[in-house]
Structure 1
Amino acid sequence: MTTVELDYSSDGIVRLLRTPPEQRSLSWLKDALQQAIMLELATLPPYLCGWWSLLQDTDSGKAAARAIRVIVFDEMSHLGHVCNLLTTIGGSPRIADESVLAPYPCPLPGGVRPAINPDLEVYLGGLTKDSVEMYSQIEAPEEPLAQFAHAEETFASIGLLYTAILEAFRVHQGEIRGTRQVTKSMEHHGEGNSLFPISSLADAEKVITIIKEQGEGTEKTPDNPFPGVAGELSHYYVFREIFRGRKLKKIQETPPKWDFQGDPIPFPNARPMGKVPKGGWANDPDTVPDATARAELDKGNVAFSEMLRSLEEAWKQDRPEDADQHLGDAISHMFALKGPALKLMDMPLPNDPARRYGPEFRFVATP
C-alpha cells in the first residue's frame, strides 16, 4: 500500500499514480483526494490575483474579468466537490494547514507536471501575458484540441489524477456512505457548480466529469459542457484565447478542428501587480512593506486563513445546518479578501514604483 505525506512539496501524486491499480486501496483513494484538494487550493490565489488586477476600462477588460470570475467560481465548486468525495468515503479534508498550501512561487503540488510545460512555476502576480500562459498550462488537457506543441513524455497531470480517482471509486463504490456532505445551490454560476451529496458511484462519476471537463473540455470539443452561459469555453481555451489574442474558431468539420482564427481580442489592461517573492513581500529586502501596506497584507492574510478554517469546519459537521453556517462564514471571508487586495494593487513597490503590491495568501495560525 502506498502512503504519502501531507506536504505540498512532496511528490505524493507521482507516487500515488505509480501504484498499480490493483493496489489502490481505500486509503490510497483518501490520499489521492487530499492531494486533489491541494491542487484545487493552489489554483485559486493566482486566478484571483489576475481577476482583481484587471482594469475593466475596455470591452476586452470587461470580457476577461467576466470570464476569469466564472473560472474562479468553478474552481471553488471543484474544491467543494472534492471535499464531498472525500467525506463520503469517511475521510476528513485538511484545508487550514500551512503544509497543504502553496508556498508561491512553486510548482504544482504532489509532483504534478503539466505536459505542455513540465517546469511550470505557479506564482502570484497581476494579469500579464506570462500569467495567462501559466493559467492555461495549469488547465491544459493531455491532448489539447487547439495547441500544437506536445511533450513526448507522459507526466503526472491533473487530468491523470482525476482519472485514477474515478477508477478507484469504481473499485471501492461500496465505501460510499453519503456522510458529512455539504450542499449549496450555485446554478447561477454554472450547471456544474452546485454542491450536491455524493451518495452513489453515479454521483462520483458526475462530479469528476464536471471537474475535468470544465477545466479541460472534452476530447471532441473545447466547449464547457457545464456552462454558466451558452457558448462558454472550458478554462484552458478561455485562457488560450486571452493569450493568443484571437477567438477560437472551428475551421474544419470532419474531422473537427479548431484554431485561434476568430475575431481579435485586444489584451486587457491591468494593474501592474508585481510577483510576490518566496515567503511574502517582507521576505525580500527590496520589497519590505511599510506600515500601511503591511496592515492591508495582514487583513488579507487573516481573511484567507479564516476562510480556510471555515471551509475545513464545514466538512467536519454531521448536521447540514451546521455545515451551512460554516460555509456561509467561508463565503463572507472570501469576499473580505478583495478590498485589501485592491488597495495593495494601488501601492507602489519601493524598489520598482512602476510595480504594485498585491495579496500574499499566507496562512496565519490562530494564537
Structure 2
Amino acid sequence: MSQVQKAPEVVQKAPKSCPTTWTLEELHAHLQAAVSLELCTIPLYLYAMYSIELTGHRGKEAHCTLLEVVVQEMIHLGLAGNILTALGGRPRVYGEAFTPKYPSELLYEGVLMTLAPADKHQLKAFAEIERPAEMGAAHSFDIPEPPNDRKAVQYLSIGEFYKAIMEGMNQLNNSGSLTFDKNSTGKQWTGKELHHKNPECTDAPTRSTIPELAPITDYETAIRKLNLIIDEGEGRGLTDTGKGAEPTESSHYDRFKKLSDYPELNVYPLVSNPRTSLFKDLEDTKYSEHCYPYSYLLLTLEAGWTYEGPGDINSGGIGPNLHNLMTEVMGPIAKVLVRQKLKNFQKNAAPPFNLYTFNLHSSPKAEIKALIEEAISRYSYPAEDKEQFEKALKGVGDLHDIKLDGIQ
C-alpha cells in the first residue's frame, strides 16, 4: 500500500484581536493569517472569472478585470509570505489545516464566501469583501496610533487587521526585537516568477515581471508593501506617493463596484460550491482534473518558501509553475467544465477548488498527467473540449516536479 502524505496539523488559529503586547510569535500568527486571508479570495475570483461567457465587450472586460485582481491577490499572498519568511517564519498554504473551504466566512469581514457565477449578487459580495473600513480615509505611511484602551480590540475589517500588523511590527522594531534575515531573500517569491499573460486579455497590459512582488529585507520595505496591500484592496484615494506609498491602479473595491453596477453579465449556470465527493457516481464529469493542478499550485507556493527559493534545484526550479498551472492547465480545464451540463443537478459543471493531497513518494506532475490522459481517452468530448484538454496536457509537460518529502 502506498504511503499517502498526511495533512499537517493546525499550527495556529487566526488571531481575532490585537495583542496588548506584541511578541514575535504573535506577529508570525498574524502574518500566517494574512497569507490564509489572501489565499481565500483567489478561488472566489477565479471561479467567477471562469463563469463568464466571453461574448461581447462587457464579458471580456469583466473577465480581464477579475484576472487582474487575481494576479494582484497572488502578489499580496506572496508579499505576506515573504514578510513571514524574512522574519523567520514558514508560510503554509497546502494541507487541510490551511487550504480554504467554501462556503465559509471571510476572516475579519463576516462576508460569506461562496463559489458562484459572476452575477450582480456575487459581484456586490466581492465589493463588500474589499470595502474600506472607513470610506474615503486618507492614505498615510505613518503607523496607526493604538487606541488609549488597547485591550484586545476585535478586528472589524481586513484593513484594520493589516494596520494592526504594522503596529505590531512598529512596536517590535522600536524595542529592537524585530530582526530581518537577509539570507532569506533567496527563499522569497519575486515578480519574475509571477508574470502575467493571458490570450483572452490582449488589450490588457502584459508584464514580464511584477515589481511589486519583491524580497523583503528590512522594516521600511515591509511597511511599504503592507500599505500597498491595503491600497490595492480597499483603496485610499491616493493623492501622494511619498516614501511609504507605492502608486496603485484602481482598487479592488472600485473595480468590483463598477462591475456590480453593470447590467447582468452572461454567465454559465454553474453549480455553487462544487465538491468532488458530491458528484461521485452521479455524473460523468471528472472533477479531479481541476483539483489536482489547483493543489499543485498551493504545493508550488509553499515549496518556494520551504526550500532555498523558487529557483533552487531541490524544488526543481519551480518558478514557472505558477503561470503555467493557472493559465495553461487550470484555465483550459475550467473551460471544458463550465460547458458541461449536469444531468442530475440541472446546472453546468464548475471547477471545484478542493484539496487533493498528493502521494508522499509520487511525482505530482505524473499524477496530473495521468489523470488528464485518462479523461481524454475515457470520455467522448466535442473537438473544442478535447483541444482544451490537450492544451492542458501540454501545460503539464512544462511543469517542474517537486520533492514532496520536504513539505510536511
Query: Which of 83, 86, 90 is the aligned partner of 2:84?
Result: 86
Whether the aligned pair in 2 keeps the contact of 1:29 and 1:168 (CA below 8 Å) is yes
For residue 255 of structure 2, what is the amino acid of its counterpart?
V
**Percent identity among equivalent residues?**
26
C-alpha deviations, 1:42-81, integer Å up to 9, x for none? 0000100111111221221121112111101000111111
Tell me the equivalent position of 1:13.
15
Tell me the equivalent position of 2:368.
none
C-alpha deviations, 1:97-126, integer Å up to 9, x for none? 1211222011114xx2x2xxx3x2101121
For residue 171 of structure 1, what is the amino acid of its counterpart?
Q
1:236 equivalenced with 2:227 (yes/no):
no
CA–CA separation in structure 1 for the residues paired with 2:15 and 2:207: 30
CA–CA separation in structure 1 for the residues paired with 2:105 and 2:95: 18
Tell me the equivalent position of 1:298.
288
Whether the aligned pair in 2 keeps the contact of 1:347 and 1:357 (CA below 8 Å) is yes
Tell me the equivalent position of 1:45.
43
CA–CA separation in structure 1 for the residues paired with 2:134 and 2:207: 27
C-alpha deviations, 1:22-55, integer Å up to 9, x for none? x110111111010011101100001001111112
Give 1 or 2 for the bigger CA radius of gyration.
2
For residue 199 of structure 1, what is the amino acid of its counterpart?
T
Task: Note the residue ranges of structure 2 that are not aligned, 5 or more in a row.
Answer: 1-9, 138-152, 197-205, 240-244, 360-408
Tell me the equivalent position of 2:398.
none
For residue 271 of structure 2, what is the amino acid of its counterpart?
G
Cα distance, 1:88 vs structure 2: 0.2
Whether the aligned pair in 1 keeps the contact of 2:188 and 2:215 (CA below 8 Å) is yes
1:104 equivalenced with 2:102 (yes/no):
yes
Q: How does 1:91-170 map to 2 (within 5 A)?
A: 91-109=89-107, 112=108, 114=109, 118=110, 120-145=111-136, 155-170=155-170
Q: Normalised by the size of structure 2, how large is the TM-score?
A: 0.69
Whether the aligned pair in 1 keeps the contact of 2:283 and 2:343 (CA below 8 Å) is no
Query: Which of 183, 191, 200 is the aligned partner of 1:184?
Result: 191
CA–CA separation in structure 2 for the residues paired with 1:291 and 1:164: 47
Tell me the equivalent position of 1:200.
218
Tell me the equivalent position of 1:326.
318
How many positions carry a matched residue from both structures? 310
Task: Note the residue ranges of structure 1 that are not aligned, 5 or more in a row.
Answer: 147-152, 246-265
Query: Which of 343, 358, 361 is the aligned partner of 1:366?
Result: 358
Q: Normalised by the size of structure 1, how large is the TM-score?
A: 0.77
Alpha-carbon distance change, 243 to 190 in structure 1, aligned in 2, over 3 angstroms:
farther
Whether the aligned pair in 2 keeps the contact of 1:47 and 1:68 (CA below 8 Å) is yes
Alpha-carbon distance change, 137 to 220 in structure 1, aligned in 2, over 3 angstroms:
same
Whether the aligned pair in 2 keeps the contact of 1:192 and 1:226 (CA below 8 Å) is no
Tell me the equivalent position of 1:343.
336
Whether the aligned pair in 2 keeps the contact of 1:58 and 1:268 (CA below 8 Å) is no
Tell me the equivalent position of 1:172.
172
Cα distance, 1:130 vs structure 2: 1.5
User: What secondary structure sits across from 2:320 in the alignment?
Assistant: helix
Cα distance, 1:171 vs structure 2: 2.7
